[in-house]
Amino acid sequence: MIDLDETDRALLRALAQDATASAGALGRALGLSQPACWRRIKRLREAGVFRGAQLDMDAQALGFGVTVFLGVKLAAKGRSSVEDFERAVQAIPEVQTVEHVLGAYDYRLRVVARDISDFERVLRRRIMTLPGVGNLDANVLLSEERRLGPLG
């Protein structure tokens, strides 16, 4: 845990929106020289603030028009059940995110499909055959907005 001043927050805000921005460009935007900005970035990186810079692509443009969130409750929760489930779910290509959670569900999955009938195929042949699956709950994504959170 590191403490940030206002300039660091502005830097993180900018980087959250465009991870490919250079130190020079960021410095110009913040009224900082290139080396000063670079040193701040280096400090943040060494503090372990950056988990990675992953490109997010337009699923629609790639032909995946349907995104569904699945809440999964396991039927049995022994250790082997959990491990079996995790191993099996990671082999499903349509699953983009696996979140292990505590609450009404045990797992939350983000699943993409080409269309609704394609999703039905994934659900019946992939999801419902997973080992140990109990209750399922589905929510279809209509729209989403990502914000910066309090991290900036």
| Contacting residues toward its own copies, per CB under 8 A | 1-2, 4, 12, 15-20, 47-64, 69, 71, 90, 93-105, 108, 112, 137-151
- In terms of Cα–Cα distance, which of 125, 129, 83, 126 is closest to 107? 83
Closest separation in Å from C-beta 18 to its own copies:
6
Residue (of 103, 104, 99, 110) closest to 144 by Cα position: 110
Contact partner, 25, from its own copies, DNA, none, Cβ < 5-8 Å per class: DNA
Per CB under 7 A, residues contacting DNA are 7, 22-25, 27, 31-36, 38-40, 42
CB of 48 to DNA, least distance (A): 16
Asked whether the beta carbons of 109 and 93 are under 8 A apart, the reply is: no
Least separation in angstroms between residue 23's CB and DNA is 3
Q: Report the C-alpha gap between 76 and 3 in whole angstroms.
A: 43
